[in-house]
Every structure is written in C-alpha cells, then in structure tokens.
C-alpha cells in the first residue's frame, strides 16, 4: 500500500495497523506461538510478537531477526525495522537480504541517499534488480529521478507485490506529466475496485492539474472528505517532482523548514541500533540509579509540514480529536513493571489509540488507566504498573484472548511516566 498517504490519514481505519503496533520489548516474554500453517494469514503484529518471543530466547536467530524486521516494517515502524535488519546483517554478513530490508526501511524514513547505499551493498552481495526494484524505485522518485524510478517499477511488476508496483508506477508517471499512461497503469486495479488504486487515481488527477476530477475521485472513494482534501489536492500540481512524491506517498508538504523540500529530510547521523533495549532486557545488569529526565509537554500538534489530523470517529461515540492534550507526568522513583501495548514516534497518537482499545473492550479495561513513557525519540503506550512479572503475564494473557498483543516492559529508576487523562 501507499504508506501514510494523505487519504489514508483522513480514513485512519483504512491504513492504521492493529492495536499491537510496534511491540519490541520482549523481556520475560512467554514461549513463541507456532508459525502459521501453509495458507494461514499472519498479521504483522502477530508475526512481530512471534519473532520477538523467539529472540527473547535466541537473540542471534537470523530468521527471527529477518521476520521481526519485515513485520516491523509492515507495521509502519521503519526505525525499529532497521535495527532488526542491522542485527541480522551482523549475524550473517554474507547475506544480501538484510541490506534490502534496510534499504526499504530507509526509503520509508525518506532517506533515499542512505537507501541507495544499502541497495548497492545488497547488489554487491548478490541481490538481483528484482529484489530491490520496488523500493529502489521509490528512492529514485524521492531523488527526483522519475525515469529510473519507472524503470525499476516496471521490473517490480513481475515481482512479489505487482499491485504496489503498479500504484507507484502510476504516481511516478503522473509526476512526469504522463497522465494517460498513469491512468492506464491503474486500470487493472481499478477494475477490481482496489482501494489503493482508487486513492492513487485521485492523486494522479491532482498531480496533473485536474483538481475537480481529483475531488470527485475522493468523494467516490471516501464520501464527504473532498472538502478537507481540497487545499492539499490543489497544491499538488505546483510542487517540484521530489516534493510531489513525498506528498502523495508520505503526506509531507514543503514548509517544514528543511532545505530542499520534504525529500531532503534526511538524517545526518548514522542510524542508531534500535535493538539496544532488547539486549539490555535479555542480559540485564544491576539497575543503575538515573537522574529523572525533565518532563516536558507533549506537542499540541503534528510537526510542521505534516497535514493536521482529522477527528477519528469511534464506533458508538462522538468524533475524538487525534491530537490529545498534554498528559500528567510523574517520575517513577524505582523500576516498575508495565505492559506495553504500542509505541511510535508521535506521542499524540497514543491516547487516541488507547481510547479505541478501551471502547472496544470496556469490560477488560474497566478501571485500567493508560500511561505514556518517552525516551530516545520514541513513546510507549503502557498499562500498569504490576506488582510482579507473573501479574503482568496474567493480564497479557487476558489481552491476548481479544487479539491484543502486549509485552512486559520495566521502567528505569527515575523515568518519567505520564498518566493519560481519564
């Protein structure tokens, strides 16, 4: 799918992963469930949970590291995926597979130059063009090289995800001004009413200057949203090629203060090892006293350059703003045991995610409060604290009965944990 697309942001239920999105801390994890049988579908959240539990007992399991990386990427957490793929590369330095995963993750982080380096290393180790074409094409698109992007997408049409290759090809052709070819590329998917193709068609029309047609396409796919999409769609055709790609794939518009537009929003520092927390929990040392970090308010809105979130409609309830108010904060003076339900880079998304869980499982979450802990640029959605690991595990099993994955996580002494408003 087109990740974090603007229309997807307007209809969160169409693109948001499940309640267990981005679970990475596997301390005291139970034994892993069995792998799915042939023909069974495993969700990214379930695959991530299964592989994390394997890694809890075998941190250098190459296949589990690859599986966790692929599941994290499919769940929308490219930063964590990079860490898993990086560790897999350490375990098997001769394999090109982790490098392809790292490249795909870096593309999702809008770092096309670093992604190109990863793809080049994958090819040096033996990867074919077909193995990297889908994601390298998007990297080329983000760099403004639509001709090479389209060449890669055409190769990817015979790969493992031809539908996504077709959508990306159509958008790239539209950025090049080749509207008729772009719409023709989408025709096989539109004939099947593919939701991603319906969204892509709206973008193709807007990118090529047909705002009216784009608004009609939005109304056909998501009735009632054309009004909120109007400013975005009208602006699309005025952007530079790389900016257009960033907008339609990632919802990023110029104006975030980064030189060169959204496609230039590239991390300058090396990607950190996202598995450090896992190793610390798998091989715990004596806890060290730590100074409590200074609490700060959660930002009241999305970063500049991102579209403002629209209200989310909770079944049976009123529209709830996607951005929450700052939550109370308190430093936990000793280590405490929690269950982590989700994590991500945007703490403002977690309160609404917790409300959705509560609304769907009121009996299970009766008298249960949600908490948020922030560290190293990531935020964790927590419940607890629990008296013991056994108590946490008991509640984790209750959550599992309603298909909510959770993992035990221990806060450090002095760590700030914020309670969500009731």
Dist CA 158 CA 164 (whole Å): 11
CA neighbours closer than 13 Å in the CB half-sphere of residue 9: 22
Give pLDDT tens digits for 301-348. 222 222 222 222 222 333 323 333 333 544 445 678 888 888 877 888
Q: What was the pLDDT predicted at 316?
A: 30
Q: Domains, the chain, ranges and CATH?
A: 6-264 (1.25.40.10), 291-419 (3.30.70.1070)
Candidate ranges 20-34, 43-57, 118-132; pick with highest mean pLDDT: 118-132
Residue 4 has pLDDT above 80, yes or no: no
The CA-based dihedral angle spanning residues 237, 305, 375, 421, taken in that order and rounded to the nearest 10 degrees: -110
Q: Which residue has the higher pLDDT, 28 or 395?
A: 395
**Average per-residue pLDDT in the chain?**
75
Confidence of residue 290 (pLDDT cuts 50, 70, 90): very low
Dist CA 308 CA 250 (whole Å): 13
- Percent of the chain whose pLDDT exceeds 70: 73
Which H/E stretch holds residue 374? strand 370-375
Instruction: Say if CB 200 and CB 275 are below 8 A apart.
Output: no
Dist CA 55 CA 248 (whole Å): 36
Quickly tell me which residue has 């579209």 as its tokens. Answer: 307
Quickly tell me which residue has 């169409």 as its tokens. Answer: 14
- The b/e string for 50-85 (b: 16+ C-beta within 10 A; e otherwise) is bbbbbbbeebebbebbbbbbbbbbbbbbbbbbbbbb
Q: What share of the chain is helix, strand, coil (3-state, %, to 5)?
A: 50, 10, 40
Which H/E stretch holds residue 65? helix 62-75
Closest alpha carbon to 178 in 146, 214, 213: 146
Confidence of residue 90 (pLDDT cuts 50, 70, 90): very high
Confidence of residue 7 (pLDDT cuts 50, 70, 90): very low
Residue 293 has pLDDT above 70, yes or no: no
Give pLDDT tens digits for 349-384. 889 889 988 988 888 888 899 999 887 777 889 998
Q: What was the pLDDT predicted at 328?
A: 56
Closest alpha carbon to 384 in 320, 313, 335, 314: 335
């Amino acid at each position: 799918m087109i990740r974090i697309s603007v229309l997807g942001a307007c209809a969160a239920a169409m693109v948001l992963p499940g309640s267990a999105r981005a679970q990475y801390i596997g301390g005291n994890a139970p034994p892993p469930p069995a792998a799915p049988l042939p023909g069974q579908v495993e969700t990214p959240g379930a695959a991530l949970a299964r592989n994390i539990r394997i890694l809890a007992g075998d941190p250098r399991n190459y296949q589990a590291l690859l599986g966790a990386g692929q599941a994290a990427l499919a769940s929308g957490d490219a930063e964590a995926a990079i860490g898993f793929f990086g560790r897999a590369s350490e375990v098997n330095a001769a394999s090109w597979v982790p490098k392809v995963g790292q490249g795909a993750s870096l593309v999702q982080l809008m770092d096309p130059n670093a992604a190109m380096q990863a793809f080049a290393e994958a090819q040096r180790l033996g990867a074919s063009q077909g193995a990297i074409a889908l994601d390298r094409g998007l990297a080329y698109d983000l760099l403004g090289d639509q001709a090479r992007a389209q060449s890669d997408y055409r190769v990817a049409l015979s790969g493992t995800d031809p539908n996504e290759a077709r959508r990306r090809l159509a958008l790239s052709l539209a950025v090049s001004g080749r509207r008729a070819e772009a719409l023709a590329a989408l025709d096989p998917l539109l004939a099947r009413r593919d939701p991603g193709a319906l969204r892509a068609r709206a973008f193709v029309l807007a990118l090529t200057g047909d705002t009216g047609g784009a608004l009609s396409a939005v109304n056909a796919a998501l009735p009632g949203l054309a009004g909120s999409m109007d400013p975005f769609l009208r602006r699309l055709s005025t952007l530079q090629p790389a900016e257009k790609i960033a907008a339609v794939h990632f919802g990023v518009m110029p104006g975030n203060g980064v030189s060169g537009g959204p496609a230039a929003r590239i991390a300058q520092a090396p990607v950190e090892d996202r598995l450090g927390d896992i190793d610390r929990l798998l091989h715990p040392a004596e806890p060290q006293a730590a100074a409590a970090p200074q609490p700060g308010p959660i930002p009241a809105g999305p970063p500049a350059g991102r579209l403002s979130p629209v209200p989310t409609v909770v079944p049976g309830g009123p529209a709830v703003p996607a951005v929450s108010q700052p939550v109370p904060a308190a430093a936990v003076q000793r280590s405490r045991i929690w269950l982590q339900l989700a994590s991500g880079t945007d703490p403002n998304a977690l309160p609404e995610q917790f409300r959705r869980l509560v609304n769907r499982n009121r009996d299970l979450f009766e008298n249960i409060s949600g908490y948020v802990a922030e560290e190293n640029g990531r935020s964790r959605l927590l419940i607890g604290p629990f008296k013991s690991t056994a108590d946490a595990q008991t509640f984790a099993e209750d959550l599992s009965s309603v298909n909510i994955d959770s993992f035990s996580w221990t806060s450090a002494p002095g760590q700030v944990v914020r309670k969500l408003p009731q």
